[in-house]
């Protein structure tokens, strides 16, 4: 088959879920073609039908889902007419799959070898020895070090990046013609994510297999895809090359998604542009355009009829009655939302000044030589080791500032957050909040401190009691701390829910009756209940769509500016950290390796690790991605129980010398507003 021939053809695909509350039309007439060797990205908000469509291609739609009509042709064969036995020959053979969470896809009680070998023997009809050799070769092909050793490991003995590579090896094991990857990098660090994307690209080029890549990360789309399909309300509303979609989007929904992204050029904006309203209820008939109620460019024609996907060029189609969508409106809104480039502040490290006296404002938070060491559990194979999760941190935060904390998983970010909240007691050092060292407070003193620092969690749903109403959830801190009378608490609860932009009618609902963005707003309202000085936000937007993410980020910025709250913002998303933060702390294996003003760190990184993180972060612009000279960080993060001697980054650093491998570089000042732990900081 030549690259010009169609490998996969999907025509008018409809998939419904027959629930007790009505029929959900999750996939509502999807049609597209994919050629051999092409990389097609499917993007859209949660609930747009991306995953339901992908599972429909393999006939893996879970109950009560049902493929109602349409055709899915792979090399001319209609997959919807095949028997289960015939489909099983295709799944894992002609079609490989890579899912979001490898731990739910891999059997925890089987070795990697057993899981790979069973797939290989079934589809390629090899004997055990031949299949084992191929398993080792596949692990080597996807970049797993020591494959002869790792193949005998269990999934829990591998890192998240290695587990995802095992899934890719499994998808490749039988020389597929199509790989379906559903959010394959969502749970990974930015550095591992970049490695996985590069690996998938190489596989596509070297093997010639086509790839269907489902994601909500538009930066990854710009880096990886050749073509893009934008889905909304179960339909494809725009289809084109990646350059056309990013440079000249034609559908208002695509334009709205792209404008929610923080600026790729680093220009600070007053607020992220966001999509108002919510996706339609797919149980109800949609008489006109499904995006009309959220679209500023909608006309009466949009309410009356549903636009078809029509060509705008030879390779670009959009389903919109309005020529150009809302491009003119976007240009006006984007221009009005940008602030002038801030002038560099040479003495910013000393903190803001008091307007009346000119004296520096006292930090609201100071960490001095903060450490947290854990003793690992001993076993008959291993001795007890000390895990240096946080190993000597010195940073400060002033009133009304946001400190962004970035680094790979295992670097100590979340442990530091728990220390700030005094959910963990430090092994050594000080945590000074408003002039008081709270590192070793106990009893009533610790209880009194709790109101000063509050938490916004990554997954609000898991932090809520599902049997409590929103009124009870927001009011719980007030009740626990015995703040005010019942009447005063009720008044405060009503103020809080309106502060986060929700109506008081939500107070009588339960968490399962709210969207992800609404639940995160409730989490923020609960954190504000006791009027804290500091909010610790640990990955508060990682589970949210780009549109909902923009709403939550805007809310945090507005509350910070209006209430003067300081925020410690922990995230893997460097574009969001850049947008929201005044200062940045880059952590690696329990230590801060670079600390300074946000824009200075992003524009002129000094530490090799910071440079590696920024190189790994995708930019939502295909042209910029092509022009970048990306040098990806190699290797895995060392164990904090056995860190390298000398500089902890020396095992992965391209600049490392013998001195780096023997001495630990201190966090020294570089200029007036930067601290860097590197002998070769320039």
Asked whether the domain spanning 362-375+385-604 has the same topology as the one spanning 6-94+174-331, the reply is: yes
Spatial separation of the C-alpha atoms in residues 406 and 539, rounded to whole Å: 10
- Span 433-468, pLDDT tens digits: 999 999 989 888 998 898 999 999 888 888 899 999
| Residue 333 CB partners (closer than 8 Å, separation 6+) | 259, 273
Q: Can you identify the CATH homologous superfamily of domain 362-375+385-604?
A: P-loop containing nucleotide triphosphate hydrolases (3.40.50.300)
CA neighbor of 524 nearest in space, from 543, 512, 541, 509: 541
Q: In the prediction, which pLDDT does 100 show?
A: 76
Q: What's the rounded Cα separation, in Å, for the pair 192 and 280?
A: 35
- What are the pLDDT digits (tens) for 467-485? 999 999 999 999 999 999 9
Section 317-326 average pLDDT: 91
Residue with tokens 């930090």: 363
Q: pLDDT tens across 343-354, in order?
A: 433 334 445 554
Counts for the chain of helices (H) and strands (E), in that order:
25, 24
413: nearest Cα among 535, 539, 527, 532:
539
User: What is the predicted pLDDT for the residue at 376?
Assistant: 62
Are 577 and 584 spatial neighbours (Cβ–Cβ below 8 Å)? Answer: yes
Q: What are the start-end ranges of the H helices in 393-501?
A: 413-420, 443-449, 460-463, 470-480, 486-499
Q: Taking 90 as the threshold, does the pLDDT of residue 74 lie above it?
A: yes
Sequence-ordered list of residues with C-beta below 8 angstroms from that of 9, at least 6 positions apart, any chain:
33, 34, 71, 72, 73
pLDDT digits (tens, 9 = 90+) for 86-112: 898 888 788 988 887 777 788 999 999
In sequence order, the 6+-apart residues with CB closer than 8 A to the CB of 335 are none
Neighbour-count burial for 474-511, b at 16+ CB within 10 Å, e otherwise: bbebbeeeebeeeeebeebbeebbebbebeeebbeeeb
Query: For 208-220, what is each residue's pLDDT tens digit?
Result: 999 999 988 898 9
DSSP-derived secondary structure for 305-373: -PPP-EESSSS-EE--SSTTTTHHHHHHHHHHHBPPPPPP-TTGGG-PBPTTT-PBPPPSEEEEEEEEE
User: What pLDDT, in 10s, does the model give residues 649-677?
Assistant: 999 998 999 999 999 999 999 988 899 99
Which of the four pLDDT bands, split at 50, 70 and 90, describes residue 358? low
- Checking if the pLDDT of 626 tops 70, the result is yes
**Six-digit token pair at 573?**
């998303």
For the chain, what is the radius of gyration of the CA atoms?
26
Q: How far apart are CA 561 and CA 524, in angstroms?
A: 15
Peptide bond into 271 cis (omega under 30): no
Spatial distance between the Cα atoms of 107 and 113, rounded to a whole number of angstroms: 11
- The residue behind tokens 């015939």 is 86
* pLDDT of res. 3: 55
What are the two backbone dihedrals, phi and then psi, of residue 370, each rounded to the nearest 5 degrees? -70, 130
Most confident among 7-16, 42-51, 126-135, 180-189 (mean pLDDT): 7-16
Q: Over the stretch 388-432, which tens digit does the pLDDT of each residue have?
A: 899 999 999 999 999 999 998 888 998 999 999 999 999 999 999
pLDDT-derived band at 377, boundaries 50, 70, 90: low
Confidence of residue 161 (pLDDT cuts 50, 70, 90): confident
For 563, counting Cβ atoms within 10 Å of its Cβ (0-12 exposed, 13-18 middle, 19+ buried), the class is middle
In the predicted model, is pLDDT for residue 627 greater than 90?
no
Lowest mean per-residue pLDDT among 129-143, 216-230, 345-359, 507-521? 345-359
Is residue 368 within a helix (H) or strand (E), and if so which, with residue range? strand 365-375
In terms of Cα–Cα distance, which of 66, 68, 97, 78 is closest to 8?
78
pLDDT for 313 equals: 93
Instruction: Please provide the size of the chain in residues.
Output: 682
Q: How far is CA 94 from CA 58, 170, 417, in A?
A: 11, 12, 46
Name the token pair of 661: 């491998």
In the chain, where the domains are located = 6-94+174-331, 104-173, 362-375+385-604
The better pLDDT of the pair 252, 265 is held by 252
Single pTM value for the model: 0.85
Strand-strand pairing, 235-241 and 317-318: antiparallel
Q: Average of pLDDT values for 54-66?
A: 90
> Domain 6-94+174-331 carries which CATH code?
3.40.50.300
H-helix or E-strand spanning residue 559: helix 546-563
Say whether pLDDT at 262 is over 70. Answer: yes
| C-alpha to C-alpha distance for 66 and 430, rounded to whole angstroms | 59
338 has which bridge partners?
269
Predicted pLDDT of residue 556: 93
Local structure of 7: helix, strand or coil: strand
Instruction: Please provide the average confidence, as pLDDT, over all residues in the chain.
Output: 87
What is the share, in percent, of the chain residues with pLDDT greater than 70? 91
Q: Position of tokens 């169609």?
A: 6
Tens digits of per-residue pLDDT, 485-522?
999 999 999 999 999 988 899 999 999 888 778 899 99
Binned at pLDDT 50, 70 and 90, residue 314 comes out as very high
């Amino acid at each position: 088959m030549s690259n010009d021939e169609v490998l996969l053809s999907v025509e008018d695909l409809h998939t419904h879920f027959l629930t007790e509350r009505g029929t959900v039309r999750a996939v509502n007439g999807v049609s597209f073609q994919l050629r051999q060797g092409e990389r097609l990205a499917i993007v859209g908000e949660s609930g747009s039908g991306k995953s339901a469509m992908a599972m429909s291609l393999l006939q893996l739609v879970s109950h009560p889902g049902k493929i109602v009509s349409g055709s899915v042709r792979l090399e001319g064969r209609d997959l919807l007419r095949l028997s289960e036995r015939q489909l099983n020959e295709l799944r894992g053979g002609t079609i490989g799959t890579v899912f979001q969470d490898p731990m739910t896809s891999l059997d925890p009680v089987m070795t990697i070898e057993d899981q790979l070998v069973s797939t290989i023997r079934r589809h390629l009809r090899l004997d055990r020895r031949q299949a084992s050799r191929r398993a080792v070769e596949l692990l080597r092909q996807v970049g797993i070090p020591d494959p002869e050793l790792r193949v005998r490991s269990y999934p829990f003995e591998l890192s998240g990046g290695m587990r995802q590579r095992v899934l890719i090896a499994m998808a490749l094991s039988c020389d597929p013609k199509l790989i379906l990857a559903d959010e394959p990098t969502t749970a990974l660090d930015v550095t591992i994510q970049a490695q996985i994307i590069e690996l998938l690209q190489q596989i596509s080029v070297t093997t010639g297999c086509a790839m269907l890549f489902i994601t909500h990360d538009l930066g990854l789309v710009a880096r990886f895809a050749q073509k893009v399909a934008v889905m909304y309300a179960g339909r494809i509303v725009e289809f084109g090359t990646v350059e056309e979609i990013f440079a000249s989007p034609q559908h208002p929904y695509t334009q709205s998604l792209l404008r929610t992204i923080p600026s790729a050029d680093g220009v600070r904006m007053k607020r992220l542009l966001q999509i108002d309203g919510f996706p339609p209820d797919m149980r109800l008939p949609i008489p006109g355009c499904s995006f009309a109620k959220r679209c500023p460019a909608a006309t009466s024609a949009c309410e009356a009829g549903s636009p078809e996907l029509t060509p705008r060029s030879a390779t670009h189609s959009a389903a919109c009655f309005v020529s150009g969508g809302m491009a003119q409106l976007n240009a006006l809104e984007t221009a009005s939302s940008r602030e002038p480039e801030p002038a560099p502040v040479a003495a910013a490290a000393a903190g803001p000044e008091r307007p009346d006296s000119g004296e520096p404002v006292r930090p609201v938070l100071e960490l001095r030589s903060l450490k947290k060491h854990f003793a690992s559990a001993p076993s008959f194979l291993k001795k007890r080791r000390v895990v240096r999760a946080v190993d000597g941190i010195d940073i400060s935060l002033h009133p009304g500032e946001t400190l962004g904390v970035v680094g790979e998983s295992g670097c100590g970010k979340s442990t530091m957050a728990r220390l700030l909240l005094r959910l963990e007691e430090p092994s050594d050092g000080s945590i000074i909040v408003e002039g008081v060292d709270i590192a070793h407070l106990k009893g009533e003193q610790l209880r009194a401190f709790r109101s000063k620092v509050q938490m916004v969690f990554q997954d609000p749903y898991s932090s809520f009691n599902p049997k409590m109403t929103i009124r009870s959830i927001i009011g719980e801190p007030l009740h626990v701390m015995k703040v005010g009378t019942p009447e005063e608490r009720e008044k405060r609860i009503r103020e809080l829910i309106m502060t986060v932009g929700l109506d008081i009618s939500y107070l009588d609902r339960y968490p399962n009756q709210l969207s992800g963005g609404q639940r995160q707003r409730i989490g923020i309202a609960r954190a504000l209940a006791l009027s804290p000085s500091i909010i610790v936000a640990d990955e508060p937007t990682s589970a949210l769509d780009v549109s909902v993410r923009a709403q939550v980020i805007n809310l945090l910025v507005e509350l910070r500016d209006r209430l003067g709250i300081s925020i410690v913002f922990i995230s893997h998303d460097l574009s969001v950290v850049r947008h929201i933060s005044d200062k940045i702390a880059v952590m690696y294996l329990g230590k801060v390796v670079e600390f300074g003003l946000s824009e200075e760190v992003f524009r002129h990184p000094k530490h090799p690790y910071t440079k590696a993180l920024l190189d790994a972060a995708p930019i939502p612009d295909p042209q910029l991605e092509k022009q970048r000279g990306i040098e990806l960080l190699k290797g895995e993060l060392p164990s904090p129980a056995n860190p390298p001697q000398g500089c902890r980054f020396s095992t992965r650093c391209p600049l490392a010398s013998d001195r780096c491998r023997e001495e630990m570089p201190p966090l020294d000042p570089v200029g007036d507003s930067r601290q860097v732990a590197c002998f070769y900081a320039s």
